[in-house]
Amino acid sequence: MNQDILINICTYILDGMSEREACALAGFSYNELQDLKEGSQKLREVVEKKHIEFKHNHLKEIQKNKSEKNSQWLLEKLRPEEFGSKGRSQDAPTVNIINAIVKDIQNENTGIATLTRGTKQIEENTSQGFKVYDVLK
């Protein structure tokens, strides 16, 4: 591999391309790059450094352009166990709102159903003859 090809591959990686994509754009075999990386610690370090620089440049941009959306995204990506959507959904009970409404329609219930995220409790209000859906937070 000559120096110009390596510079091109590193430039494409800094632009966000994967190593496979960078090799294709630089006209170099991806498999040959992998073989060269196996034999050269320095080449592995240079390529890895370009991946890290790409992430670092974008994280700086996100932090520079402060917004609630950027902050939320950054926290979800960097700390998914604490701020990720999967972490939050494990703690919150699931309520199948559509299923409850369809069942009410099929059973011809005339009560008003107010359902939000939370635990569904059904209480019979026998004096008025309808079901009250109470969602506890």
Q: How confident is the model at residue 7 (pLDDT cuts 50, 70, 90)?
A: very high
Tell whether pTM > 0.75: no
Around Cβ 9, how many Cβ atoms within 10 Å?
A: 26
Give the model confidence (pLDDT) of 47-99 as tens digits. 999 999 998 888 888 778 778 887 787 778 878 888 877 644 444 545 566 66
Those residues whose C-beta lies under 8 Å from the C-beta of residue 1, and which sit 6 or more positions away, are 28, 32, 33, 36
Give the model confidence (pLDDT) of 96-110 as tens digits. 666 666 666 666 555
Distances (CA, A) of 100 to 71, 120, 122, 129: 36, 10, 11, 18
